[in-house]
Amino acid sequence: MAAIAPDNHGLRLVARYAVLILIAVIFIFPLIFMLMSSLKPDQQLLTDTESLRAFLPVGNISLDNYLAAFRRAPVGLFVFNSVLVTGLTVLLSLVVCSLAAFAFVFIDWRGRELVLTLILATLIVPFETIAIPLLLISANLPWIGLEGVTRGWLNSYQVQIVPFIADGLTIFLFVQYFKDLPGELIEAARVEGASWGQIYRKVVMPLAGPVLATAAILKFLTMYNQYLWPLMVVQQEQYRPVMVGLQYFFQLNRAWGEIMAYLSLITVPVLAFYLFLQRAFIASIASTGVKG
């Protein structure tokens, strides 16, 4: 409970920290286990699970598992694919959704209310309920590429990117944020003869830092961790993201050390990114709950 005055009395303080630390151990121990195991040969990894050695970098420590993981699967390619798909989707999503929100908040146009209501209504449709028909649609969509017009998006980058550019939550976040901006700023810019494009670029977007961070972080998390969708639409190794690449490891006879190395490899950068921007990450989740 929110204590009004800091309560720092000996024993009670120790008890509080004991509880906090105990819970922290529960949350952190599997991740430590993953990291430590990735450094150990399989035999030692298995025997170490019988003691606290499982959580310590002891014994025969090396990076062999990482090298083996790279030999077993095109890990570099998977990482490249994930970074490309995630990066492009985040970028396009920020542009497309902020433009739409700008139109919803600052411009009066016919159909505005209806379109906004429809977009917000999609928030109650879980992606899982549209995934199967979306698979059929994606298999039949045309695409204009270097080879001319082709039909069918399966096994491509665009099938992993385009369907996720616009989404109800991102638009909702931008709309909420834009509504709270002072209208006088837009008025003033209008009086000075600025066009709508200029107001978007030079007045509104420079003020949108916090909501851009929030939207980017949420999109980043969903896109990087995508599993169901790429599992269905990408069979060719060439376009596989990291989460689907995992299949190379858990279908073959269990080389746990290599699995742990691969898991660490695809998780540690995200964790580092999170710890670095911890406040922004937590604020972004919190902001989805403020106005619900």
Partner 1 sequence: MASKFIRSNRIGWLMAGPAALLMAIFVVLPFVFAIGLSFTNQRLISPNPTQFVGLANYEQLLGVGVLTLEPERDNAGAVIRDKSGALTYPALRSFTRNNADYPQYDGMREWFSFDMGESRVFLLGRDIVFLKAIVNTVIFVLVVAPVQGGLALGLALLINQRLRGINLFRAIYFMPVVVSIVVVSLLWRFIYDGNSGLLNNLLGAITFGAFPRIDWLGNPGTALGSIIAMSIWQAVGFHMVIWLSGLQTISPTLYEAAAIEGASPWQTFRYVTWPGLRNTAVLVLIVITMQAFSLFSQIDVMTGGGPLDSTQTIVFQAVERGYGKQDISGGSTISVVLFVIVLTISFIQRWLTREKK
Q: DSSP H helical segments within 180-208, as ranges? A: 183-191, 196-198
Q: Which of 150, 202, 250, 252 binds partner 1 (CB under 8 A)?
A: 250
Nearer to partner 1, 146 or 290 (CB): 290
Contact status: 227 vs partner 1 (CB under 8 A): yes
Site for partner 1 in 20-59 (CB under 8 A): 20, 23-24, 26-28, 30-31, 33-34, 37, 46-47, 49-50, 54
Site for partner 1 in 181-220 (CB under 8 A): 183, 186-187, 190, 196, 200
Residue 39 contacts residue 262 (beta carbons within 8 Å): no
- The CA angle 253-255-257, to the nearest 5 degrees, is 170
Q: Is 209 exposed, middle or buried (0-12, 13-18, 19+ CB in 10 A)?
A: exposed
Min separation Cβ 211 and partner 1, Å: 15
Min separation Cβ 213 and partner 1, Å: 15
| Cα–Cα distance list, 192 to 18, 189, 199, 203, 217 (Å) | 61, 5, 11, 12, 35
Query: How many angstroms separate the CA atoms of 154 and 141, rounded?
Result: 9
- Span from 70-78, 115-123, 143-151, 205-213 in contact with partner 1 (CB under 8 A): 115-123
Backbone phi, then psi, for 243, in 5-degree steps? -70, -35
Contact status: 133 vs partner 1 (CB under 8 A): yes
Min separation Cβ 146 and partner 1, Å: 23
Q: Which of 66, 104, 239, 248 binds partner 1 (CB under 8 A)?
A: 104
Query: How many angstroms separate the CA atoms of 34 and 31, rounded?
Result: 5
Letters for 64-103 (x = contact with partner 1 by CB under 8 A, - = none) are --------------------------------xx-xx-xx
Site for partner 1 in 165-184 (CB under 8 A): 165-168, 171, 179, 183
Nearer to partner 1, 132 or 144 (CB): 132
Q: Which of 172, 177, 224, 248 binds partner 1 (CB under 8 A)?
A: 224
- Span from 56-64, 73-81, 107-115, 204-212 in contact with partner 1 (CB under 8 A): 107-115
Q: Which of 79, 91, 267, 280 binds partner 1 (CB under 8 A)?
A: 267
Residue that the structure tokens 């003691």 belong to:
51
Residue 136 contacts residue 142 (beta carbons within 8 Å): no
- The CA angle 160-165-171, to the nearest 5 degrees, is 150
Backbone phi, then psi, for 186, in 5-degree steps? -70, -45
